[in-house]
Amino acid sequence: MSQERVRSSFVTAADVAARAGVSRSAVSRTFTPGASVSREVRARILDVAGRLGYRVNRLAQSLTVSHSNIVGLVAADLQQPFHAECLATLSAALLADGFQCMLLNAANAERDMGALIERVLEYRVCAIVVMNGTPPSRIVKECLGNRVPVILVNKPMPGFAVDTVVTDHAAGGRAAAEQLLAAGCRQLAVVSSGARTASLLGRLESFCDRAAEAGVPVRVWREGPTDYSTGREAALAMLGNDSIDGAFCVTDLIALGFLDAARLDRGRHVPDDLSVIGFDDIPQAAWSAYQLTTFRQPVRLLTDQVMQVIRERAATPESPRAVFTLPATPVVRRTVRGLAAPESST
């Protein structure tokens, strides 16, 4: 067999066996941890494999076992800075731990997530992590019936045996209200999008509940996409009424749009006559143009917990599922009156 022919396509185990003068099974045993093969044969096979550029076909290997080492990551809205950070952190952690990642972009999650997960199952994945959106119940049942763990991030799904890793959004929304009340704000606004996700609703509703306890009125905005443009539109519409002196935006991206319109279009001074709080602590929140006071979602902790769940499910697949709730940490910068951060803070 010529070198050119070997390199015209992926080098196979049969190619290595033929060149090394051994059986196909000897090549397989050489690349299977713990399998029996003599030191001399192993050395010859590894030498030939290195010269030919042979790589183990992991997909083919998975056909002989019930599951592969592939973890399916289902995500939507990847343009959102927080979602992009979660994806980057989790995929890096999976690769470092010896897993392979299969990303499916559920851009139209509510419509086609079921089809996406069905496709992932064809690769005998060892786990599925849904980073946003809610999978159809029938798909969850199919995954569990195939002994494939399902892990939801920031999306509870009561009544199903799935693990859920969430930030305490309600506590964050309540703390945002308390910060604005402590700053003396008495005409509050909360700005969200038209999305009705559990995380955004949790922040908004707990904020309004805490303000109601204090007898302080809240104007609510719940229109548009979850992005910068919604913050701008909300500020232009709501700040025509100069009585609003405190605003909680349920994501940082919304808050940045709100801040720009408040300052540049409505002439408001932040934080002197308008205090603004965001949520997520995306990198842009620390930019000198914003210095946004916000709440940090613990991306590293979320990732560590997801990784722990994946390992535990591999070891004890029948153990009870759980909800893991992680705290949102306040990050004080310069957009709330009386809560200015130290000069050295970013």
CATH number at residue 17: 1.10.260.40
Same domain? 159 vs 275: no
Same domain? 175 vs 162: no
Does 62 map to a domain? no
Amino acid 310 reads I
Same domain? 35 vs 151: no
Same domain? 173 vs 281: yes
Contacts of 13 (CB under 8 A, 6+ apart): 24, 27, 28, 54, 57
Same domain? 189 vs 162: no
What is the rounded CA–CA span in Å between residue 220 and residue 173? 14
Beta bridge partners of 163: 151
Same domain? 185 vs 242: yes
Q: What order do you get walking across the sheet with 275-277 strand by strand?
A: 218-222, 188-192, 246-249, 275-277
Instruction: Give the pLDDT mean for 226-253.
Output: 94
Q: Which of 152-166, 167-181, 188-202, 319-333 has the lowest mean pLDDT?
A: 152-166
Does 339 map to a domain? no
Instruction: Name the nearest CA neighbour of 220 among 245, 188, 196, 172.
Output: 188
Task: Count how many domains the chain has.
Answer: 3
Contact 37, 46 (CB under 8 A): no
Same domain? 288 vs 185: yes
Does 274 map to a domain? yes
Structural domain harbouring 26: 3-56
Same domain? 178 vs 164: no
Same domain? 161 vs 217: no
Does 345 map to a domain? no
pLDDT at 102: 86
Does 63 map to a domain? no
Same domain? 180 vs 285: yes
Does 61 map to a domain? no
Does 335 map to a domain? no
Same domain? 310 vs 202: no
Say how many C-beta atoms besides its own lie within 10 A of residue 225's C-beta. Answer: 14
Does 156 map to a domain? yes
Same domain? 47 vs 160: no
Instruction: Give the pLDDT mean for 300-317.
Output: 89
Q: The pTM is what?
A: 0.77
Instruction: Give the pLDDT mean for 162-189.
Output: 96
pLDDT in tens, 35-84: 788 989 989 999 998 888 877 665 555 545 445 788 988 887 788 888 88
User: How is residue 193 written in tokens?
Assistant: 């999008």
Q: The domain spanning residue 274 has which CATH number?
A: 3.40.50.2300
Split at pLDDT 50, 70, 90, the class of 341 is: low
